[in-house]
Amino acid sequence: MGALAAHSEYIGEILIKRGVVPADRMAPLVQLVREKGQTLVELLVTGKVADERAIAEALAAECGLGFMAKIDVEAIPDEVASKIPITYAKQYKILPLQEDESCVYCVTADPLLVTAVDDVRTIFKKPVELAVVTNEAVMNAINRVWERKGATGNLEGDQANEEDNVVDILDSDDDAPIIAWVNGLFAQAVRERASDIHIEPEERDVVVRFRVDGELYVVRRASKQFIAPIMSRVKIMASLNIAEKRLPQDGRISLKIAGKSVDIRVSTVPTSRGFERIVMRILQKTSVLLGLDELGFSPREYRIMDDLINRPDGIILVTGPTGSGKTTTLYACLNRINHPNINILTAEDPVEYEIGGLHQVHVQASIGLTFASALRAFLRQDPDVVMVGEIRDKETADIAIHASLTGHLVLSTLHTNDAPSSVTRLVEMEIEPFLVRSSVIGVLAQRLVRMLCPHCRVPYHPTAYELEQLALDPRRLAQKARRVLKGKYAPHDLDYKFVGQTLLEHDLGYEQAVKEIVFHKPGGCDACGNKGFLGRRGIYELMLVDDVVGPLILKNADAMTVKRAARQAGMDSLRDDGARKVLSGMTTVEEVLAATQEDVLVDE
């Protein structure tokens, strides 16, 4: 007779003796325990032979222990509960609640498992005071305690030094610490606003890096022997094939961490060392879904964008390299016009976030579902607005133009450095210039720059070189200010107006002019984790296809000519918009220059 069956038989005898279960119903159940491997209590409860509470009370009485109807999970300190690995707690249905000088107070659903009580006594090195609870109560409490720990990320003190993490995993050879370690990692990533988690084996250990605001940092290390269990755990969560270690795999994890819904895209790649590395992209609704007014547009850009997305037809293009925040911008636009009376269809690769009210399709080239074929199918679905992830080829461009000309608003992206180049790129795809002119209504180029932490940024007076790099030399500012004053610029262009006017009115020399301008550099404080930066925002170049730019497209003018004309009509280049954000203390000169290296300044 197996141990489980023997134990069940013993419990069965007690329950019969105490009148909880009639003897004639017990025998077949004990037989089932042997066949199915379920516990007697589980069979009694699922078979509705006896209820949980009656069983627990009978066991408590038999052992001379108290029965506890309810467990106050909030009152259980993490450091007490976590002394017992979760798999052990679940297997033996035992949970420590409190500890004092004299003993440790535990609840169990099975007080007859004396070995478990012995183990707890050994771990805490003090006597165990036991109370009996129902099976359901103890399992719920165990789950909630561990969820709580996972949610707050205190699993193994990830705030402490990295050695602690290693030791924690070494403590036990069962799976629970790995699960806790991975859960804690996700919680830490969300807390520290990481966009990506990289787990990779190195010479001696496993290194975990977070990408925060575009920069990678080492956040944890673990002993190399744990690379396999860590990888397996992540693969299980992402529904990947654990056994496949030679081919790349892609998967997805959906989690709730501290009340926030988090989607994680998982990618595994084998390395030459025989191990895999895992990169996870974290998609937090709160960072992907921003309002149009939260993107960091200047008032002019905001007004134009808001007008463009409310037009009935036309193509709006967003351009920039990978990771420049194009998707966030497109989502913000769609969200703005997302009403029940508007049919919005999107083709994305992949769908980064599901937005209620939108019909989103994940394109898969491998099965023939391309941007072009999705877009063609959309047009038979009576759409008002379509968003197509990217225009990469003539076919997609043709259909997008057709859609626009037949009364649909089309949003898409292109890979070009600046807004004017998008027009020439379409012409290079063999699209007739007159079709570009009659369909494209606006092009937004963008980059992401890190925002200074407002709590610790350090003001300073910029050097002449820095001003020159941002085209903020007094001569140019004065020129801009003159245009503002003449009404050529929108009157809300306050930063330039203020700075330029100051220079004009006081007729300052260069030396003094520099002293009037204040820039900021990063400091470091608790709010930003000593990084000096907090979050990222876009810098933008929004080109309107209007009476200035339109005729140039028809004439097949080069990008430089288009750019010069657009700027003279009031468009700010990426670097101009960056300069505005430097002037208003949002970011640094270095951030803007790094993000706009290829943004060629056109001399006016």
Residues that bind Zn ion (CB under 5 A): 453, 455-456, 525, 527-528
Minimum distance between the CB of residue 521 and Zn ion, rounded to whole angstroms?
A: 12
Amino acid present at 525 = C
Nearer to Zn ion, 455 or 492 (CB): 455
Nearer to Zn ion, 303 or 455 (CB): 455
Nearer to Zn ion, 68 or 525 (CB): 525
Nearer to Zn ion, 456 or 545 (CB): 456
Minimum distance between the CB of residue 460 and Zn ion, rounded to whole angstroms?
A: 16
Minimum distance between the CB of residue 260 and Zn ion, rounded to whole angstroms?
A: 23
Minimum distance between the CB of residue 353 and Zn ion, rounded to whole angstroms?
A: 29
Whether the link from the prior residue into 127 is cis, omega within 30° of 0, is no
- Residue 509 CA: distances (Å) to CA of 473, 495, 514, 515, 584: 11, 20, 9, 10, 22
What gap in Å lies between CA 15 and CA 20, rounded to an integer?
Answer: 5
Nearer to Zn ion, 499 or 528 (CB): 528
Nearer to Zn ion, 340 or 459 (CB): 459
Return all residues near 517 (Cβ < 8 A) that are at least 6 apart.
461, 462, 467, 472, 499, 583
Minimum distance between the CB of residue 527 and Zn ion, rounded to whole angstroms?
A: 5
Length of the chain: 604
Minimum distance between the CB of residue 591 and Zn ion, rounded to whole angstroms?
A: 15
Rg (Cα) of the chain, in Å, rounded? 32
Give me 141's structure tokens: 């409490």
Nearer to Zn ion, 520 or 581 (CB): 520
Closest CA to 485 of 463, 460, 502: 502
413 secondary structure, DSSP code:
E
Nearer to Zn ion, 172 or 530 (CB): 530
What gap in Å lies between CA 410 and CA 301, rounded to an integer?
Answer: 19
Minimum distance between the CB of residue 193 and Zn ion, rounded to whole angstroms?
A: 13
Long-range pairs, 494-499, Cβ under 8 A, ≥24: 495/580, 495/583, 495/584, 496/580, 499/472, 499/583
Minimum distance between the CB of residue 284 and Zn ion, rounded to whole angstroms?
A: 21
**Distinct helix (H) and strand (E) counts, the chain:** 26, 19
CB atoms within 10 A of CB 311: 11
Nearer to Zn ion, 290 or 453 (CB): 453
Minimum distance between the CB of residue 520 and Zn ion, rounded to whole angstroms?
A: 11
Nearer to Zn ion, 535 or 570 (CB): 535
Minimum distance between the CB of residue 454 and Zn ion, rounded to whole angstroms?
A: 8
Minimum distance between the CB of residue 584 and Zn ion, rounded to whole angstroms?
A: 17
Closest CA to 533 of 139, 193, 87: 193
N- to C-terminal Cα distance for the chain?
93
Letter string b/e over residues 258-279, b meaning 16 or more CB atoms within 10 A of that residue's CB: eeeebbbbbebeeeeeebbbbb
Residue with tokens 């990320």: 153
Nearer to Zn ion, 279 or 525 (CB): 525
Minimum distance between the CB of residue 590 and Zn ion, rounded to whole angstroms?
A: 17
Residue with tokens 């069965």: 12
Nearer to Zn ion, 436 or 451 (CB): 451
Give me 317's structure tokens: 């293009």
Residue with the CB atom nearest Zn ion in the bound state: 453
Minimum distance between the CB of residue 451 and Zn ion, rounded to whole angstroms?
A: 11
What gap in Å lies between CA 139 and CA 134, rounded to an integer?
Answer: 9
Q: Do the strands 409-414 and 385-388 form a parallel or antiparallel pair, or are they unpaired?
A: parallel
Q: Phi, psi at residue 425, to the nearest 5°?
A: -60, -40
* 3-state SS class at 480: helix
- Residue 120 CA: distances (Å) to CA of 83, 87, 106, 136, 355: 9, 14, 9, 21, 49
Nearer to Zn ion, 179 or 453 (CB): 453
Closest CA to 571 of 410, 444, 415, 437: 444
Give me 307's structure tokens: 């007008």
Nearer to Zn ion, 220 or 450 (CB): 450
Q: Give the neighbor-by-neighbor strand order of the sheet with 104-108.
A: 66-67, 128-132, 104-108, 94-99
Minimum distance between the CB of residue 522 and Zn ion, rounded to whole angstroms?
A: 8
Nearer to Zn ion, 149 or 520 (CB): 520
**E-assigned strand segments in 228-384:** 249-257, 260-270, 276-284, 314-319, 344-348, 358-362
Minimum distance between the CB of residue 3 and Zn ion, rounded to whole angstroms?
A: 59
Give me 244's structure tokens: 């496949």
224 secondary structure, DSSP code:
G
User: Cα–chain-centroid distance for residue 489?
Assistant: 38
